Amino acid sequence: MQDSPKSDPETTHIGLFLFDGFSNHCVANVIEPLRAANTLSGRTYYSWRYVTTDGAGVESSSGLRILPEVALSDMRGDVLMVAPSYGFRALCRPDVIRSLRAAATRFDQVAGLDTGSWLLAEAGLLDGYRATIHPEEITTLAEHFPKVSVEQDRYVIDGNRITCSGAMAAFDLSLHMVLRNGGAKLALEVEQLFVTRDATTTPAEPVLGRSKVVRAAIAIMNQYLETPVTIAQISSQLSCTQRRLEAAFKDETGITPQHVYRRQRLVLARRLAQSTRLPMAEIAVRSGYQDASAMARAFRSEFGLTPSQARHLAQS
């Protein structure tokens, strides 16, 4: 069992502002990576509360009912995430716009998820900012709100305004938050938890790393966890020098590609140790080590305990 996250003075307090018809896919893609970051780190990097305009319950587009903990007017925090999804134009009512404008003074940042960008723009909260929205609404947003610098991107962070283009981009945004607050190691672990299942699966394209070269390198690493290749070989596959690849990793993650690769393999080893009954020798092979002793030494260096101890703690 994982330890319960400890309270943390650096906790980011999030308000999820929901409306009837909200996309629970989008909300889950925001919250699940943050929940995983808390669980994996044993710290409460993030806390969140569901809010509505009046504190009444809302129902998602697929029928999921949410009973909010508080009305928007009664909450303040670090980030307000606005998640209207379908029927967003009908939500541009005076009461909603007033609530958003008032809330912007009580939160350090305001984020529009998917079509939430439209509500922020209607409230004048994106005037003079760069922003994005669901691809189907990019042109219309630019036409209706000339004071907003509209960009076609997965997410845009411009000062105290955040916008993202849809449910899949919401995951990218959350991973960026984990990278910023918990560092590259934790972000890599969260990413690997969601985009790979074991060493034999074909991993999804990673979202850690905004540059193509870093993303492509991590994808290759994930593909070769069981049979590791050298960083020079990865560089060759990407038609770039090893020096350039190492510089890109240091710039984006603060650590070397060698460390990233080792961390990915050891995270896989830890997950297998905690969630399966595989012998340690088999886990070593699956995570790219020649024998269990070599894996155990690297494991202890990275996590401060042996694979056997990690298994025991997970089962206790």
Helix (H) or strand (E) holding 149: strand 149-150
- Inside any domain, residue 1: no
Domain CATH for 188: 1.10.10.60
Indicate whether 1 pLDDT > 60. Answer: no
Query: In this structure, are 262 and 162 located in the same domain?
Result: no
How would residue 158 be classed by pLDDT, with cut points 50, 70 and 90?
very high
Report the range of poorest mean pLDDT among 13-17, 161-165, 177-181: 177-181
Query: In this structure, are 269 and 146 located in the same domain?
Result: no
Query: In this structure, are 102 and 164 located in the same domain?
Result: yes
Number of domains composing the chain? 2
How would residue 200 be classed by pLDDT, with cut points 50, 70 and 90?
very low
Give this prediction's pTM.
0.74
Distance CA 165, CA 184 (A): 24
Indicate whether 80 pLDDT > 50. Answer: yes
Query: In this structure, are 93 and 193 located in the same domain?
Result: no
What does the angle CA 166 – CA 135 – CA 29 come to, to the nearest 5 degrees? 10
Question: What are phi and psi for residue 109, nearest 5 degrees?
Answer: -135, 150
Kindly list the distances between the CA atom of residue 130 and the CA atoms of 127, 137, 159, in Å, as whole numbers in the listed order: 9, 15, 9
Where does residue 280 fall: left (phi above 0), alpha (psi -120 to 50 degrees), or beta otherwise? alpha
- Inside any domain, residue 7: no
Domain coverage including residue 272? 184-315
Q: In whole numbers, what is the pLDDT of the chain averaged over residues?
A: 89
What does the angle CA 144 – CA 150 – CA 155 come to, to the nearest 5 degrees? 130
Query: In this structure, are 144 and 253 located in the same domain?
Result: no
* pLDDT (tens digit per residue) in 109-155: 999 999 999 999 999 999 999 999 999 899 999 999 999 999 999 89
Out of 50-59, 195-204, 211-220, the most confident range is 50-59
How would residue 6 be classed by pLDDT, with cut points 50, 70 and 90?
very low
> How many C-beta atoms lie closer than 10 Å to residue 98's C-beta?
13
pLDDT value at residue 101: 97
Query: In this structure, are 94 and 217 located in the same domain?
Result: no
Task: State the amino acid at position 185 in one-letter form.
Answer: K
Of 175, 203, 225, the domain-final residue: 175
- Collapse the DSSP code of 256 into the 3-class scheme (helix H, G, I; strand E, B; otherwise coil) and give the result: coil
Distance CA 258, CA 238 (A): 16
How would residue 8 be classed by pLDDT, with cut points 50, 70 and 90?
low
